[in-house]
Amino acid sequence: MHIRHLLLSAALGVAMAGSALADVKIGALYPFSGPLALLGDESARGLEIAVDQINASGGVHGEKVVLERGDAVDNNQAIGEARRLVSLVGVKAVFGTYSSARVIAASQVTDLAGIPYFELGAVADEVTSRNLKYLFRTNPTALHMGRAAIDMLAEKIAPGLGKDPKDLKIGIIYEDSSYGTSVAGHEAAYANERGLTIVAKSGYPANTVDMSSLVLELQDKGADVVLQTSYQNDSVLFLQQAHEAGYKPLAIIGGGGGYSMQPTADAVGKDIIDGVYDVDFTQYAVNTEATPGLAEFVAAYRAKYGAEPRSGHSLANYMGALAILQAIDAGEGFEPDQIVAAAKAIDIPDGTTATGFGVKFDETHQNERAWMMGMQWQDGKLVTVYPDKAAVAPMRFPVAN
């Protein structure tokens, strides 16, 4: 018994020492199964490509980065998997997570354990507003989404329509969970700040089966512009029901979610979706001069997965992970405080990454250089139209009749 015990611990010690010399373990916490699996997996692919690229160029501090997956299928499991990664696997940091609810749950575990957590894709305000010591976020958020929608409307769409932005009547509709509510809140606050006119602001449950009364309300109040923050089902429902009711606002601006996805366009049809705007993470139909490294990312993605990227999530995760891993490499070591110091020292200027934006963390550990782009559906494809430096096509406007 004694000898077996000794042998076992000796073997364990050798194994651990051996792995510590060769590899450094990083947690990859995403929803890999369940309803969020599609985009969770897409997000994780971005991280995997960043890790491949780092390892190909010599690793971090000369050590190979090895990803240890955790499946955050729901909030409880996100917590359980975070615990496992931190205490059993012994990861040096956790990367994730796509879903805001999952990161909010899991980061409480990692912060208590003093393990750095890098969020690369979740947008809710609460992720960074809790002032956790070890949590950083590289991607743009609900605030950036709301601002980009209003900026694009005031600076580009209104002039294109030949209108003063202040004359446009804005209707804001949103699904009433934390995602839609926070984006719509930022849109309304920023529109007010810019002196624009909001005539309607209405939430609705995302699982609604009828939006005809909402369409009638917007028609009744004469909304020229509709901002919708929505998932897929309600995006389709609104676009179809507005069309069927004969309601044709001058512009519809979607906030990510359903509006960025090809199946939404296929569901409502090219005739209805064409001309609709969208604000989201950097997509692939973008001017690559503003996004250096994007073409290489797409090439690496094709080589690794044998397919085109399914959404911009992988790109956002790739860019964030690459910036963080390079910073850790430039830092002192793998101790939590050394990683945090390395993250705080990041100063990547705007326009030099594959997503177009730079990286610098503010005092809440949110990347203050993150921003979102404006897209438009043109001929059944989503193309970047805003800002000008990233645009690949001129914005199209409805023909006056």
We find the least distance from the C-beta atom of residue 200 to other proteins, in angstroms, to be 10
- Dig out the tokens for 340 from the structure: 């945090």
We find the least distance from the C-beta atom of residue 205 to other proteins, in angstroms, to be 7
Q: Which is nearer to other proteins, 108 or 208 (CB)?
A: 208
Q: Which is nearer to other proteins, 34 or 275 (CB)?
A: 34
Q: Which is nearer to other proteins, 70 or 258 (CB)?
A: 258
> Is the distance from CB of 377 to CB of 148 less than 8 angstroms?
no
Q: Which is nearer to other proteins, 33 or 57 (CB)?
A: 33
Q: Which is nearer to other proteins, 314 or 367 (CB)?
A: 314
In DSSP terms, which residues pair with 228 in a beta bridge? 173, 254
Q: What angle do CA 104, 110, 116 make, to 5 degrees?
A: 100
We find the least distance from the C-beta atom of residue 122 to other proteins, in angstroms, to be 18
The phi, psi pair for 4, rounded to 5°, reads: -60, -40
Q: What is the DSSP letter of 357?
A: -
The phi, psi pair for 127, rounded to 5°, reads: -60, -45
With both helix axes pointing from N to C terminus, report the angle between 142-152 and 178-193 in degrees, rounded to the nearest 10: 40
Q: Which is nearer to other proteins, 87 or 212 (CB)?
A: 212
- Dig out the tokens for 292 from the structure: 């250096």
Helix (H, G, I), strand (E, B) or coil at 158: helix
| Residues near other proteins (CB under 8 A) | 34-38, 173, 176, 202-205, 207-214, 216-217, 219-220, 232-233, 236-237, 240, 244-246, 261, 263-264, 266-267
We find the least distance from the C-beta atom of residue 258 to other proteins, in angstroms, to be 9
Q: What is the DSSP letter of 165?
A: G
Indicate the pairing of strand 135-137 with strand 373-378.
unpaired
Cβ atoms < 10 Å from Cβ of 297: 23
Q: Which is nearer to other proteins, 156 or 186 (CB)?
A: 186
Cα–Cα distance list, 153 to 31, 167, 227, 254, 318 (Å): 34, 12, 10, 12, 29
We find the least distance from the C-beta atom of residue 373 to other proteins, in angstroms, to be 23
We find the least distance from the C-beta atom of residue 222 to other proteins, in angstroms, to be 12
Cα–Cα distance list, 69 to 27, 32, 40, 72, 85 (Å): 6, 9, 12, 9, 8
We find the least distance from the C-beta atom of residue 335 to other proteins, in angstroms, to be 39
Prior bond to 97 cis, omega within 30? yes
We find the least distance from the C-beta atom of residue 280 to other proteins, in angstroms, to be 17
We find the least distance from the C-beta atom of residue 71 to other proteins, in angstroms, to be 15
Q: Which is nearer to other proteins, 113 or 245 (CB)?
A: 245
We find the least distance from the C-beta atom of residue 183 to other proteins, in angstroms, to be 15
Q: Which is nearer to other proteins, 10 or 216 (CB)?
A: 216
> Is the distance from CB of 355 to CB of 153 less than 8 angstroms?
no
In whole angstroms, give the CA distance from residue 311 to residue 39: 8
Helix (H) or strand (E) holding 68: strand 64-71
Q: Which is nearer to other proteins, 38 or 113 (CB)?
A: 38
In whole angstroms, give the CA distance from residue 177 to residue 204: 9
